Amino acid sequence: MAFGFLMLASILRFMAKGWVYNMYIKPKLFFPYYGFEWVKPLGETGMYVVFIVLAISAFCIAVGFLYRYSAIVFFLGFTYVELLDKTNYLNHYYFISIMSFLIIFLPAHRYFSIDYSLNKKIAATYAPNYFILTIKFQVFIVYFFAGIAKVNPDWLLHAQPLKIWLPAHSEMPLIGNLLTKEWIAYFFSWFGCVYDLVIPFLLFVPRFIKPTYFFVIVFHLATSLFFNIGMFPYIMISLTTIFFTESFHLWIINAIRSIIKGNATEDAVIYAPQIKTVKLFSILFTIHFVIQLLLPLRYILYPGNLYWTEQGYRFSWRVMLMEKAGTAFFYVHDRTTGGEIEVDNKKYLTYMQEKMMATQPDMMIDYAKFLKAEFIKQGFKDPIIRAQSYVTLNGNGSREFIDPQVDLSVQSNSFLQNKNWIKKY
Amino acid sequence: MNLKGNIFILGVIITTLFFIACDKKKKDKKDDNEDTSFDKPAMLANYSENIIVPNFQSFKIALDSLVNAYTVFIQTKTVADLTVLRQKYIRATIKFQHISTFEFGPSESEIVRSNFNTYPTNTLTINSNINSGSYDLGTVSNLDAKGFPALDYLLFGKNETDASLIALFDTDAKAANRIAYANACLSEMQTKTNSILTNWNSNYKNTFTSSTGSQIGSSLGLLVNQLNFEVDLLKNAKIGIPLGKKSLGATLPEKCEAYYANNISVKLAKECLLNIEDVYLGRSANGANGMGLDDYLEHLKATHGAESLNAAINNQFAITKTKLDLVAEPLSTSVNSATSTVDAAYLEMVKLLVLLKTDMPSALGIVITYQDGDGD
Q: What is the pLDDT of residues B123-165, one digit of tens each?
A: 999 999 999 999 999 999 999 999 999 999 999 999 999 999 9
Looking at per-residue pLDDT, the higher value among A231 and A358 belongs to A358
Q: Identify whether residues A250 and A372 lie together within a single domain.
A: no
Indicate the SS3 state at residue A326: strand
Query: Which of A70-74, B14-18, B260-264 has the weakest average pLDDT?
Result: B14-18
Both A239 and A375 in a single domain? no
At A394 the pLDDT is: 87
Task: Tell me how close the Cα of B246 comes to any Cα of chain A, in angstroms.
Answer: 5
CA-nearest residue of chain A to B250? A339
Confidence of residue B347 (pLDDT cuts 50, 70, 90): very high
Q: Is A160 left (phi over 0), alpha (psi -120 to 50) or beta?
A: beta
Chain A residues 117-176 with CB within 8 Å of chain B: 161, 164-165, 167-171, 176
CA distance B376 to A318: 8
The more confidently predicted of residues B44 and A320 is B44
- Mean per-residue pLDDT for A344-372? 92
Q: Which CATH class is domain B37-210?
A: mainly alpha
Mean of the per-residue pLDDT values of chain A: 83
Q: Which amino acid is at B62?
A: A
CA distance B241 to chain A (A): 9
**A296-308 tens-digit pLDDT:** 888 888 888 888 8
Question: If we measure between CA atoms, which residue out of B333, B307, B359 comes closest to residue B242?
Answer: B333
Instruction: Tell which wins on pLDDT, A91 or B104.
Output: B104
DSSP single-letter state for residue A33: P
Chain A touched by B21 (CB under 8 Å): yes
Q: Do residues A341 and A266 both lie within one domain?
A: no
| Percent of chain A residues topping a pLDDT of 90 | 18
Q: Specify the length of chain A in residues.
A: 425
Residues A246 and A349 grouped into a single domain: no
Q: Which amino acid is at B133?
A: G
Q: What is the C-alpha radius of gyration for chain B, rounded to an integer number of angstroms?
A: 26
Of the candidates B14, B37, B366, which has its C-beta nearest A176's C-beta?
Answer: B37
The whole domain housing A98 covers: 2-149+229-299
pTM, two decimal places: 0.86
pLDDT above 70: residue B296: yes
Between strands A384-393 and A324-333, the pairing is antiparallel
Residue A192 is assigned to a structural domain of this protein = no
For the CA atoms of A407, A412, A416, A417, the dihedral, rounded to the nearest 10 degrees, stands at 0
Chain pair A-B, CB pairs under 8 angstroms: 163
* Interchain contact, A342 vs B38, CB within 8 Å: no
**B355/A contact by beta carbon, under 8 A:** yes
Instruction: Choose, out of B362, B364, B368, B370, the residue to mutate when testing the contact with A (most A CBs < 10 Å).
Output: B362
The secondary structure of B199-243 as a DSSP string is HIIIIIHHHHHH----STTSHHHHHHHHHHHHHHHIIIIIIIHHH
Highest mean pLDDT among A26-30, A125-129, A366-370 belongs to A366-370
Residue A397 has pLDDT above 90, yes or no: no
What's the confidence (pLDDT) of residue A3? Answer: 66
Q: Would the pLDDT of B29 be above 70? A: no
Q: For residue B372, what pLDDT band results from cuts at 50, 70 and 90?
A: low
A215 within a domain of the structure (yes/no): no
Mean pLDDT of all residues in A157-161:
86
Pick from B28, B304, B358: CB nearest A327: B358
Mean pLDDT of B286-310: 93
Tell me what pLDDT residue B165 has: 96
Residue A269 sits in the same domain as residue A375: no
CA distance A324 to chain B (A): 7
Which residue from A191, A320, A392 is facing B375, i.e. has the nearest CB?
Answer: A320
Contact A321 B24 (CB under 8 A): no
**Distance (Å, rounded) from C-alpha B269 to C-alpha A406?**
33
**What total number of domains does chain A contain?**
2
Mean pLDDT of all residues in A132-139: 85
Average pLDDT estimate for A173-201: 86
As beta bridge partners, residue B242 has none
**Size of chain B, expressed as the number of residues it contains:** 376
Give the gyration radius of chain A's Cα atoms.
Answer: 24
The predicted model gives B302-325 an average pLDDT of 95
Select the more confidently predicted residue: B50 or A234: B50
CB B376 within 8 A of CB A322: yes
User: What's residue B335's pLDDT?
Assistant: 96
Asked whether residue A330 falls in the same domain as residue A291, the answer is no
Among candidates A104, A106, A109, which has minimal Cα distance to A122? Answer: A109
The answer to whether residue A168 sits within a structural domain is no
The nearest CA of chain A is from the CA of B232 a distance in Å of 11
Compute the nearest-CA separation of A110 from chain B (Å): 33
Q: Is B238 on the interface with A (CB under 8 A)?
A: no
SS3 label, residue A399: strand
Residue A404 CA to residue A385 CA, distance in Å, equals: 10
- Percent with pLDDT over 70 in chain A: 87
Contacts of B350 in chain A (CB under 8 A): 329, 388
Q: How far is CA A375 from the centre of its chain?
A: 34
Distance separating alpha carbons of residues A145 and B242, to the nearest angstrom: 52
* Chain B residues touching residue A229 (CB < 8 angstroms): 372-375
pLDDT at residue B33 is higher than 70? no
Kindly tell me if the per-residue pLDDT of B20 is higher than 50. no
pLDDT, position B172: 94
Distance, CA of A224 to CA of B232 (rounded, Å): 34
B294 vs A67, more confident: B294
Q: Is residue A71 part of a domain?
A: yes
Least confident of A218-227, A363-372, B328-337: A218-227
Q: Give the integer Cα–Cα distance in Å for B10 and B350.
A: 52
Query: Are A56 and A112 spatial neighbours (Cβ–Cβ below 8 Å)?
Result: no
Q: What is the pLDDT of residue A92?
A: 82
| Domain membership flag for residue A179 | no
Judge whether A208 is closer than 8 Å to chain B, CB to CB. yes
B294 pLDDT more than 70: yes
Looking at the fold, whether A283 and A342 belong to one and the same domain comes out as no
Pick from B7, B240, B358: which is nearest to A390 by CB?
Answer: B358
Chain A, residues 365-384, CB within 8 A of chain B, namely: none
Q: Residues 273..302 of B with a Cβ closer than 8 Å to A: which?
A: 300, 302
Task: Please give the residue that has the higher pLDDT: either A278 or A146.
Answer: A146
Let me know: does A205 contact A213? Beta carbons within 8 Å: no
Q: What is the pLDDT of residue A37?
A: 85
B217 at interface of A, judged by CB pairs closer than 8 A = no
Domain-wise residue ranges, chain B: 37-210, 213-376
Mean pLDDT of the residues in chain B: 89
Cross-chain residue pair A392–B359, CB shorter than 8 Å: yes
Domain membership flag for residue A164: no
Pick from A19, A171, A395: CB nearest B363: A395
A143 in Cβ contact with A192 (< 8 Å):
no
Closest-CA distance, B251 to chain A, in angstroms, reads 11
pLDDT band at A270 (very low <50, low <70, confident <90, very high): low
Local confidence band at A278 (pLDDT 50, 70, 90 cut-offs):
confident
Cβ-nearest to B354 among A89, A195, A390: A390
Q: What would the DSSP string read from start to end of A103-151?
A: TTSS-GGGSSSHHHHH-GGG--SB--HHHHHHHHHHHHHHHHHHHHHH-
The answer to whether residue B308 neighbours chain A at the CB level (below 8 Å) is: no
Q: Is residue A220 part of a domain?
A: no
Closest Cβ opposite residue B246 in set A195, A232, A341: A341
Residue B367's contacts (CB-CB under 8 Å, 6 or more residues apart) are A228, B214, B215, B216, B221, B373
A321 touches chain B (CB under 8 A): yes
A46, A128: one domain = yes
Instruction: Give the nearest chain A residue to B210 (CA atoms).
Output: A171
Instruction: Assign B96 a pLDDT band (cuts: 50, 70, 90).
Output: very high
